[in-house]
Amino acid sequence: MYSLLKAMRALLVLDLCTTVGALAGWPEGGTIVAGNAVRFDRQTWESSLAQPNATGTVPVSGFDISQRWPSQEVDGWTLSLNVSSDVPESQSMNADNATTGTFTGTSIFFKAPENIQGAFTNHTALDETTWKICVNVVPNGPQEDQSAAGNGTCGFLSSQCVTDLQQAYADKFSGSQDCYGTPPSTPSSCGGIVDTSNFQTQQLPLTSINGTEVFVTASASHEAGDETAWNNATRQVWPVLTVWGWNTRAQAPQDSSPQVQLSCIRANTVEPGSDNPPSSAEPTFRGAAVLALGIASVTTWYTYL
C-alpha cells in the first residue's frame, strides 16, 4: 500500500514536471494558460495586463478559508477579468524583433477579502490548510449574454442546467478533492451548450487569492487597433465553476459534499481612454467612457452536508 502510494506520488510529480516543462514562460504553474498566452512569460504578460483596456468584476460567495473547512460563507470574494487590447508580439518569447503584430489578452483571477489574503502570506498557514479549491473555466462561452442582467447570472444557461451542473460536480467530487479527476458527464438539461469535457481545471493556489491569474488567454495575432479582436474579447462570457473542497487534513466525514458555484464573468467596464467596442448589438456601449456590458453570476448555493 505504502509503495503504491509512493509510486503514485512519483507519477504525479513526473506528470507535474511534464506540464511545467511545456510552459517555459509559466514555470511555477498555478495558472491555466490557453491560446497564445503560452507565447509569453508571466512577467511580460502581467506587465501588459496590469494596465487593461477593459475590466469586469462580480462578487462571489466564498468561504472563510483562513478557518478550517467547512468554515462559513463570507462576503468580499470577487471574480475578475482584465482585457488588454495590445500585448505586443515582439515581447513574446522567441519573437523576431521585427514582428509588429499584437495580441488581445484576457486574464481571469479571484480575490479573497483582504484579511483572508493576509492569512496565506504565512507559510505555516499554507502548509496546514484544510481547503482544496478547484476552479473550472469554460473556454468556449458565448459572446452574447442574452440576460445582460448585470447581477451575475449565467443567462445563456437554463437554471436547470446550472443547478444540475453544480450538483454533478458536488456529487462527483464528494469523495475526493482531486481537482484533476475525470469531470462528471454534462447534464442533459444543458442541451449541449456546454460540455464538461472541455472545462479547463486548476487547483487554486492559495497564494493566488490576492488576484493572481487563474486563467490567461490571448487572441490570434492581429494588427494593432483590430476592432474584431477587441470586440470579441470584451463580449466574451467566461463561465467559472468553483468547487470549494477539502484535503485529507480536514478529516471530512465520508458523506461530505463540496459547495459548488457557477459564475459568469465578462468585461463590464471600458477603461478611460480606451475605445468602446464596436458593438451595434449592445446599445449600452454608446456614448460614455465607462459602460456596463452584461455580467452574470449565480449565487445560488447547494449544501449537501
Ligand X SMILES: *[C@@H]1O[C@H](CO)[C@@H](O)[C@H](O)[C@H]1NC(C)=O
Q: Is the distance from CB of 89 to CB of 101 less than 8 angstroms?
A: yes
Contact call for residues 305 and 256 (beta carbons, < 8 A): yes
> What are the Cα distances from residue 197, in Å, to 116, 136, 183?
32, 11, 7
Nearest CB to ligand X, comparing residues 84 and 196: 84
- CB of 7 vs ligand X, minimal distance in Å: 32
Name the DSSP letter for residue 277.
P
Give the nearer residue to ligand X in terms of CB position, either 273 or 287.
273
CB of 211 to ligand X, least distance (A): 4
Nearest distance from C-beta of residue 255 to ligand X, angstroms: 27
Give the residues lining the site for ligand X (CB under 6 A). Answer: 49-50, 52-53, 55, 82, 85-86, 96-97, 107, 109, 122, 124-125, 128, 147, 149, 151, 153, 207, 210-213, 219-220, 222, 226, 228-230, 232, 273-275, 299
Please say which residue, 47 or 188, places its beta carbon nearer to ligand X. Answer: 47
Q: Which of 265, 281, 301 is nearest to 154 (CA)?
A: 265
Listed in sequence order, the residues at least 6 apart from 28 whose beta carbon sits closer than 8 Å to its beta carbon are 20, 42
Identify the H or E element spanning 81. strand 73-88
- CA 182/CA 196 separation, integer angstroms: 9
3 state SS of 296: strand
Give the gyration radius of the chain's Cα atoms.
Answer: 20
Q: 11 — phi, psi (to 5°)?
A: -60, -40
Let me know: does 107 contact 82? Beta carbons within 8 Å. Answer: yes
- Measured from the CB atom, the residue of 172 and 242 that comes closer to ligand X is 242
133, three cell numbers: 479549491
Angle at CA of residue 220, ends 215 and 224, nearest 5°: 105
As a whole number of angstroms, the distance between CA 14 and CA 26 comes to 17
Residue whose grid cell is 497564445 = 36
Distance in angstroms (rounded) separating the CA atoms of residues 299 and 58: 10
* Cβ nearer to ligand X, comparing 107 with 257: 107
